[in-house]
Amino acid sequence: MPELTRRRALTAAAALAAATTTAATLAAPASAAPAADHRHGSPESFDEVYRGRRIQGRPMAMGGHHHEHGGGYAVFVDGVELHVMRNADGSWISVVSHYDPVPTPRAAARAAVDELQGAPLLPFPAN
């Protein structure tokens, strides 16, 4: 019988760990599967005053080019629509803070208010 070396012991331990992980994954019931990523679900509506500005967000019916990028969700700052877009990873960006992704439309509205520094939001022209 060959002598037990460090290399053989580590190889056997790695194989055992891989086999155990595979068996546990296959044996797990469907109900034990991880929950769906909440970032890809429909965001909740919100209506609040943030730094003296009224920000709102709500699901919208799909239709028109302007709403398609927002995944059927509209955001408003003081009643003016803030153009938002959902990224593939579930993060959100707005026309005001385009290079700073945030986790929710509410966070996008707040980031826009921060960036505007009191200036009014001008309507974004739809093509």
Local confidence pLDDT in tens for the 127 residues of the chain: 567 777 776 676 666 566 655 555 455 444 443 333 444 567 899 999 999 999 999 998 755 444 455 568 999 999 999 999 999 999 999 999 889 999 999 999 999 999 999 999 998 776 5
pLDDT confidence of residue 84 = 94
Query: Taking Cα atoms as reference points, which of 69, 74, 70, 42 lies closest to residue 58?
Result: 74
Any alpha helices (H) in the chain, and if so which ranges? 6-27, 65-68, 105-116
Closest CA to 52 of 117, 100, 97, 98: 117
- What pLDDT sits at residue 98? 87
- Identify the pLDDT of residue 15: 65
* Closest to 105 (Cα-Cα) out of 37, 50, 43, 51: 43
- Rounded CA separation 20/52 (Å): 56
Q: Which domains does the chain have, with CATH numbers?
A: 38-116 (3.30.1880.10)
